[in-house]
Structure formats: C-alpha cells, structure tokens
Amino acid sequence: MRSLLRLLALYRPYALWIGASLLVSLASLLANVGLIAVAGWFITAMAAAGLAGVSIDYFTPAALIRALAILRSGGRYLDRLISHEATFRLIGGLRAHLFARLEPLAPGALADLRSGDILERLRGDIDRLEHVFLRMVSPLLVAGLAGAILVAALARWSGALAAAAAAIFVLAGVAAPALAAFFGRAPARAASAAAARLRARLTEAIEGLAPLLTTGDDVRRFAGLRRDMADLLAAESRVARIGALGQARVGATGEFAALAILALGAPLAQAGALKSSDLVMGALAALAALEAFAPLAGAFGGFYGVLASADRVFALIDRKPVVAEPDEAASPPEKFDLRLRGVSLTYPGAARPALSQIDCDIAEGARIAFVGPSGAGKSSLADLLLRFRDPSLGEIRLGGVALRKLSRRALHARIVVARQNPHLFTASVADNLRLARSDATDAELWAALAAVGLEETIRALPLGLEAPVGVAGEKLSGGQAKRLGLARVLLSAAPVLFLDEPTEGLDAETARRVLAAILKRAEGRTLLIATHRPAEMAAMDQVIALDGGVIVARKSQPALRATI
C-alpha cells in the first residue's frame, strides 16, 4: 500500500490536469444522469398531460434535454481528451522519473537482474500503473462526488430517499470494489507475477534464439514459455471473472433500485401524493447514477496486481547505486592527466581481485596500449575510469581531482570508452552517433563514419544517416555495430579516450586505415587502447602489460621498437 501512496505523491506536478479531468468527467456524468432523468420525466409528463387533456410547457424541458445532451456528448469527448492527456503526462513523467533513478544504478547495481526483468518493470508494470489513474482513482473520485451531489439534491426532496440512495452508493462505490479487490487478490498477484516471468523468459529466448536453436534447448525453453502463458491466461481470466461479476452486481443493484423506487412510489403516485413523472425521473436517475459506479468493481478486481506492479517498480528504483554521486561535486578539472595509486578492484563474491595495486601515471595527451591475455583486467580498468565501479582500494585522479568527487556527467564528458560490444539504441545511425555530440553536423557524422571505414556501407543504405539500426543494432553485423560505436566515441570531444580492442575482427588493411584515422582524431587527446595487435602497440608511446590484474611490464617506445 505504501507504494500506492508513493505513486499518488508522484501525481502532484500534474494536479492541474488531474483536476481538469475530474471536473469534466463529473460534469459529463451529471449531464448523463440529468439527461436520462429529465427525458424520463418529460415523456411521462407529456403522456400524463395527454391523458388528462391539459397542456404543458414543453419548451423548457426540451431545451434542457438538448442542453444536457450537448453537455454530455461534448463532456465525454473532452473527458477522453483530457483524462488521456493527463494519463499520458503522468505516465511520461513517471517513466522519466524512473529512468532518472535507474541510470545511476547501471551497470553495477543491476547486474543481478535479468534484462527481461528490468524491461518488464519498465514496460509492463508501468503500463499497469497507468490504470491506477484512468480506471481507479479518477472513476472513484468522480463517482463519489457525483454520488454526494445526488444525495444532497435528494435530501432537499426527502431525507429517507437520500439516506437510501447514500446506502446504495456506498454499497456500489465502496463495498463492491472492495469485495472485488479482496476476491481478486490471489489471481491478480498471480497474473502480475506470471506476466513478469513471461516477459523475462521471452526476452531471454529472443536474445538467445540462435544458440537455443543450435543446441536444441529451444524445446525446453518453449515449454516453459507455454506454461507461463497458460498461467497468465488462467490468472487473468479469474481476475476478469471476479471484476465482471462485481460489475454485474452493481449494474443489477441499479436496476433493483429503479424497480424498488417504482414499486414503492407507485401507490403514492396513485394516491396523488407523488407525480408519476417525478417517480419515473427518480427511478431513471438511480439507474443512470449506478452506471457510473459499475466499472469500479471491474477495475478493482485487479487492484492487488497493480499494487504488486507498483511494489516491483519501486523496489527497482530504490536499489542503491554501486557508486554514489558526490554530495557536492568538485569543479571539473582543467588538466587531464590520469594518476592511479594502489588501485585494486575485487568484484563482489570474487575470490581474488580483478585488478591489484595498480600504480600508473598517464600524462595528458599520452598514448598507451594495455595488453594482456583475456581476463587480465583491461575492461575492468575501463569500468573504473568511467566510474561504473569504484576501486575497492586506492584512488584514481583526473587532472588532480579524484574521480569520486566528479559528477557522473562531468566525468563522462571527459572520459569516454569504446567497448567491444557497444550498446546501440533502436534509432537511426545519426541518432546513435549524435549521442556523443548532439550538435554534430551531417558532414561531421560522415567524417566519423569514414574514419572507421563505415561510410560506404551507410551511403549504400536508402536512408543513409537516417537508416534505422534495428533493435539494439540488429540490422548491423557485429563488426559494423562495433565500428559504429567506435565512430561515436571518435566524434565525442572528450579529452581522454579508451578504446577496447578497436580493430579486433577487421582485415589487416581496414585495421591499418582505422588505426590511422584513430591516431589522427585522437591528436592532442589522451589515447588508451586495449589491444593485441603489434601495429597498434607500435603506434603508442608506451605499452603496459597486465596479467591476472597486476602490471607485469611497462615498455616505452624505444624499448618497444627493439622487441616488435
């Protein structure tokens, strides 16, 4: 329940939209009740006047009916418009809020979660939270307000009638949704859990489809998917049944109330104590008013599922980042020399450190190759430079300022890393490149692509720079995706570049051209390269060899030339 209150607190910036949406919903609901009641009154009064042979003023009620009909139709249109706008703003704001909280968690604090699980919380769970306003909060408030107005109006007429109406409204607006929520509790939770499991399994199955098919593990995985799907369907249909039953009960209550009013009022009308037209008006008003309460029971059947979604979303964003932003960020450095002192990194649960006692001074503009076998610690070093993790021991300084003291934004504007498997967004080539520099011109983008030998490939695409790269770059080969990532890093204006095996997998001639372009673009900047290629080592001022997380050798250029 705490999650729900937290969710409602996030509505605050949208109070104006929410208020407008509630007002318009209330106006169109009251117009509907008024329209049905006045129309019933009008038809009965006309019939009674016809039977009695007297004339009545039909201009006023006819005008009222027309006005209420316009108000109802216009109100419903505006209601959809405003309530959906309010919901989209709420959900948009919620996603932005969650994303801002999620960003500092990546990658360290999310490492134990499956990507499908994170995706489900960001997509499925948040979509479910959309219903909280549209299907629960708004209808509940509107029905409550409309009920209070109708009871107040009835009280001027008859206290007993007002009390009866209030009792019915409480039954329909409080008891029925509460009962639906209570009975829907277990299946709604089961549906929410099954949906989460299904999405996580589905994402993993799609991501690993090729290996699954080759190893024959697909049959077992697909059986699991089918099981999750069946669980989800069963749980959702139980929730739907409970909601529909509640909705039907409230609908029937409306019909029962209308019949009761007619049955109780008929003798009074016969005795002349009550006009027959007023009686019909009351019965129809009860029917129309209860219509507003009916969807509540349907929506509240899934209440505990929504609560589970809210819990899952908040549990995700309440995780503690592996690295904390400084309380007060230091001013970004003017110089960019790097100094590592006694730097060690031990991953949680690991038996031995991935990096141990690294001491290293890297002057501004230096070119250094890091070499070493797989697992030597090169990528871990890149993670430390980006502050994806903090050293377990020791310290890294950039231009004399400890990395821990720099804000994430300031640090990432100064040190960039081209990874072996860069993340590409489901957007165009240009969008992916402009992440590095949003104001880069098309000519600059082409130049960056040319530098990594991708210009011809992209020019051959019908949309050129605007060509979509597909989900996570699926339309590009592994090598092309990697080079696009490299082009992005070369385009950035950061003074320190770390390139993780930038030419791995390229043929010798392309590798030579890409290296030349890298060297040209990195002129005046610090260039750190993790590599196995002798040509790349030869182009650097110094080679640092890592093995088992420790520096085992350092060779500066003259010594290198002698050995390569």
Q: Where along the sequence are the contacts to ligand ATP (CB under 6 A)?
A: 111, 347, 350, 354, 372, 374-380
Minimum Å gap between C-beta 534 and ligand ATP is 17
Q: Which is nearer to ligand ATP, 224 or 342 (CB)?
A: 342
Which helix (H) or strand (E) segment holds residue 125: the answer is: none
CA-CA-CA-CA torsion for 196, 200, 205, 208, nearest 10 degrees?
180
Q: Which is nearer to ligand ATP, 116 or 353 (CB)?
A: 353
Minimum Å gap between C-beta 354 and ligand ATP is 3
Cis peptide before 295 (omega within 30 of 0): no
* Residues 382 and 417: beta-carbon distance below 8 Å: yes
- State the DSSP code for 428: B
User: Comparing C-alpha atoms, which of 289, 280, 259 is closest to residue 38?
Assistant: 280
Q: Which is nearer to ligand ATP, 172 or 543 (CB)?
A: 543
Minimum Å gap between C-beta 415 and ligand ATP is 17
Minimum Å gap between C-beta 181 and ligand ATP is 42
User: Which token pair is 86?
Assistant: 């309010």
Which helix (H) or strand (E) segment holds residue 232: the answer is: helix 218-270
What residue type is 30 in one-letter code?
L
Q: Which is nearer to ligand ATP, 181 or 354 (CB)?
A: 354
* Residues 159 and 37: beta-carbon distance below 8 Å: no
Q: Which is nearer to ligand ATP, 375 or 400 (CB)?
A: 375
Q: Which is nearer to ligand ATP, 256 or 347 (CB)?
A: 347
Minimum Å gap between C-beta 348 and ligand ATP is 7
CA pair distance 237, 243, nearest whole angstrom: 10
Minimum Å gap between C-beta 99 and ligand ATP is 23
Minimum Å gap between C-beta 382 and ligand ATP is 8
Which helix (H) or strand (E) segment holds residue 552: the answer is: strand 550-556
* Residues 28 and 76: beta-carbon distance below 8 Å: yes
Minimum Å gap between C-beta 30 and ligand ATP is 60
Q: Which is nearer to ligand ATP, 86 or 376 (CB)?
A: 376
What residue type is 309 in one-letter code?
S
CA pair distance 139, 134, nearest whole angstrom: 7
CA pair distance 211, 173, nearest whole angstrom: 53
Any alpha helices (H) in 103-158, and if so which ranges? 115-120, 126-131, 138-155
Q: Which is nearer to ligand ATP, 380 or 542 (CB)?
A: 380
